[in-house]
Amino acid sequence: MITLSNQRGNNPMSKQYDMVVVGGGSNSLVAAAYMAKAGKSVLVLEKNDQCGGGVVSIEIAPGFINDPHASGYYVCMANPAISHDELGLFAKHGLEFKYWKAGFATIFSDGSHITAYSDLDKTCEDIAKFSQKDAQTYREFAQDCAELLPLLSRGFSTPPMPTGNFMTMLESSVLGRKLAASMFMSVYEMLDHMYESPEVKIHIMKWCAEMMEGPDIKGTGVVLYQLFGLAHTYDAAIPVGGSREVTNALLRCIEYHGGEIRTEAEVTGFKIVSGDVKGVYVGDELIEARDAVIANIHPWRLQDFIPEVDPDVAASARMVHLSNHGAVNQQFALTEPPRLKAGKQFDEALCVEFVEKDVEACRRVFDEYRYGYIPKHHLSPLTMINSNLDPSRAPEGQATMYLYHFAPRELADGGLEAWARPENREGFADAVLENYKQYTTNIDSSKIIARHIETPLEHHRHSMNMMHGDIYGIGTTVGQLMGRRPTPELSQYQVPGISSLYLAGPIQHPGGTVTFGGRATAMRMAMDMDMNLKSIFEAH
């Protein structure tokens, strides 16, 4: 049962609301905030002791604020919830961002490097060190991406068009046909066609793999258009005080408009009457919803929560595929910031990855992830030192560090649970750390105050949307994007045959990472309820 101490907001003993939100992840909180702004009474129910899903922070030592999941912000920067401050998160609710000059940098084992700055000219200068031809190709492609970005950004913050209609629209222009062609190609096919330099191919290939799909998987080529468009239009950002401050600003927004939040409140079932959702159960407690329920439900668990769902819809949902790989994340509290052998200029970059110059090895390691093998060679750790930009995250003179590495979601020997074995969990984490140390001049065990490790097993336990360690919810290929995410039947944020139930989360359009995709869920709800869209979504 819910206790008063787990409730926030006014009228905590009320059992009926206009809308009940199941799961306090960032997407559902955004949807809840828009609905509260529209005047609806809203209750958010979150099973964990803090809301946010992947948009959370932890303190692994006194004074050190680490982000174990969402550590950098790109995709949401184009969402009007951020770009137009539609929810007042900046103007009214205390959110503050700081911005990096570069989003992604690659340092190779021989000390050479490439950095993707927000400034396209500066990026092309870096690429020209390896190939003048590639620098010009990069520039021309980035300009195409910038031209397409308004279309893609609008599509990412509104309900998706049916895939067939979207493809028909693209076929009507030269640039649109280029984008359409990329949907049938892999990232590596596109890179191999465009670039001659192995360094440029590796740099972009590893950057794109942050979408949790391998570079040789068909249907990933379209990622290049979104990534380049964002990277050279917006600065990468981090919230002052850690990712939890994004969640806190959303909670303040909901409460400002009269909404309530309950943590440690796990929903165990839905009340459905004649195909209409009337409320949810938290243990034996029924909480009624007059207008709608917004839920984070992974497609693999749709029938578990909604037994009444059409069997064909449930079967299609169960066939959704997960991402190619997962990740092992490590958080550190350090006595001093790392100093890189390659130079101090990388303090300007959000993400810095350390890679060997071997294109084939870069490609092959993704097969190891897919088949469940922890790589023994070709390690490529990635770091974010967010305390370099936001000093509030660490005591003066000290530093936080996020050390990240791709990994199999499930291991060939023992599956997901095998990540609990020390030789896998700590063994792989130690190997990644030792590999990273060789790129620095000052990091050794004496500089580590505290360390926190999370494997795909911990990710799976943290969130129902990180099923089997998939931190993106489900795979990000064109067959599971836009009007097909997670399936065509569920892409409009509703379950056919079940009225008043709306879906939110990374498994819905526009996908994983921090997208503020709940705006699109809220827009679908507002359209269904004949609300005035302009009064809720000022940028619409």
Q: What is the pLDDT of residue 1?
A: 23
HEC profile of 131-154: CHHHHHHHHHHHHHHHHHHHHHHH
Q: What is the pLDDT of residue 212?
A: 95
How far is the C-alpha of 476 from the C-alpha of 383, rounded, in Å? Answer: 23
β partners of residue 261: 8, 44
CA separation, residue 244 to residues 150, 256, 264, 513 (Å) = 29, 18, 17, 15
Taking a C-beta distance cutoff of 8 angstroms, is the pair 346, 107 a contact? yes
- Residue 532 CB partners (closer than 8 Å, separation 6+): none
Beta-carbon-side half-sphere exposure of residue 106 (alpha carbons within 13 Å): 23
**In the predicted model, is pLDDT for residue 5 greater than 60?**
no
How far is the C-alpha of 214 from the C-alpha of 227, rounded, in Å? Answer: 15
Q: What is the pLDDT of residue 154?
A: 82
- Residue 304 CB partners (closer than 8 Å, separation 6+): none
H helical segments located in 10-162: 26-37, 80-83, 120-128, 132-156
Q: Is 308 exposed, middle or buried (0-12, 13-18, 19+ CB in 10 A)?
A: middle
pTM for the complete prediction?
0.94
Q: Which token pair is 169?
A: 């629209």
- Residue 376 CB partners (closer than 8 Å, separation 6+): none
Q: Pairing between strand 349-355 and 326-334?
A: unpaired
How do residues 244-279 score in pLDDT, each as one tens digit? Answer: 999 999 999 999 999 999 999 999 999 999 999 999
Taking a C-beta distance cutoff of 8 angstroms, is the pair 522, 536 a contact? yes
How do residues 142-190 score in pLDDT, each as one tens digit? Answer: 999 999 988 888 888 999 998 889 899 999 999 999 999 999 999 999 9
Taking a C-beta distance cutoff of 8 angstroms, is the pair 510, 26 a contact? no
**One-letter amino acid of 69:** H
Using only C-alpha atoms, the chain has a radius of gyration, in whole angstroms, of: 23
User: Distance between alpha carbon 389 and the CA centroid of its chain, in Å?
Assistant: 21
Quick one: which of 489, 530, 56 has its CA closest to 248? 56
CA separation, residue 80 to residues 166, 208, 389 (Å) = 21, 24, 25
How do residues 342-395 score in pLDDT, each as one tens digit? Answer: 999 999 999 999 999 999 999 999 999 999 999 988 999 999 999 999 999 999
The rounded mean pLDDT for the chain is: 94
Q: What is the pLDDT of residue 493?
A: 97
What mean pLDDT do residues 21-29 have? 96
